[in-house]
């Protein structure tokens, strides 16, 4: 369960749901069973060591909750800009946080992956600290108005000089908190 929790920061799949459906009740039963056995043994022997398994289970539970808290806290930071791409069977989004970090989310029908990084923004130009593995193949992005709809903004991939990279994914701006 701890491994799945840590892994969920970077990727998840439909199979993880089935693992959680199995591991959660099994973990709860193990925890309750260990507490029951430890109390039973403690009443006989009166040694604090009898609670070792219960303490280990409790430590894992606290660790899982703590890791999940920090993952959720990363996702819940306030956003400066959010963009989204819907590609039928796949999609992606980039959440640019106010603190200069971003979370890139790539989704297919059966799995999700997340990448994290830093960015700088000046006006409509955004520079990522690294190239991403999926959908975004440059470190340089720019917010422009859509050719079809002047009220709609798009995040497009550009080269170092600001030239549009043809046939690359464009993201629709869904949230813009820039002033």
Q: pLDDT per residue over 106-117, tens digit each?
A: 988 788 899 999
Q: Which domain holds residue 86?
A: 79-176
Q: What percent of the chain has pLDDT over 70?
A: 100
Angle between helices 14-45 and 52-75 (to 10 degrees): 150
- CATH code of 114's domain: 2.40.128
What is the reported pLDDT for 48?
A: 82
Which residues does residue 96 pair with via DSSP β-bridges, in sequence order?
81, 102
> Which one, of 149, 173, 146, lies nearest residue 84 by Cα?
173
- Read off the pLDDT band of 86 (50, 70, 90): confident
Mean pLDDT of 173-178: 92
- Tell me the two tokens of residue 43: 């009443």
Is pLDDT above 90 for 158? yes
Mean pLDDT, the chain, rounded, equals 88
Last residue of a domain, one of 75, 100, 124: 75
Q: Both 138 and 68 in a single domain?
A: no
Place of tokens 């799949």: 13
Task: Give the torsion sign (CA, 50, 52, 57, 61).
Answer: positive
Mean pLDDT of 27-34: 88
């Amino acid at each position: 369960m701890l491994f799945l929790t840590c892994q969920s920061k970077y990727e998840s799949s439909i199979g993880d749901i089935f693992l959680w459906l199995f591991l959660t009740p099994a973990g709860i039963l193990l925890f309750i069973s260990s507490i029951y056995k430890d109390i039973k043994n403690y009443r006989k022997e009166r040694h604090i060591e009898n609670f070792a398994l219960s303490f280990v289970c409790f430590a894992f539970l606290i660790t899982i909750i703590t890791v999940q808290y920090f993952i959720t806290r990363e996702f819940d930071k306030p956003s400066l800009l959010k963009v989204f791409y819907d590609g039928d069977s796949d999609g992606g989004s980039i959440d640019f946080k106010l603190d200069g970090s971003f979370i890139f989310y790539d989704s297919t029908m059966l799995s999700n992956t997340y990448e994290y990084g830093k960015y700088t923004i000046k006006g409509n130009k955004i520079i990522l600290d690294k190239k991403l593995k999926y959908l975004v193949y440059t470190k340089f992005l720019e917010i422009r108005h859509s050719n079809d709809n002047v009220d709609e903004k798009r995040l497009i991939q550009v080269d170092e000089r600001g030239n549009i990279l043809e046939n690359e994914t464009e993201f629709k701006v869904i949230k813009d908190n820039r002033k």
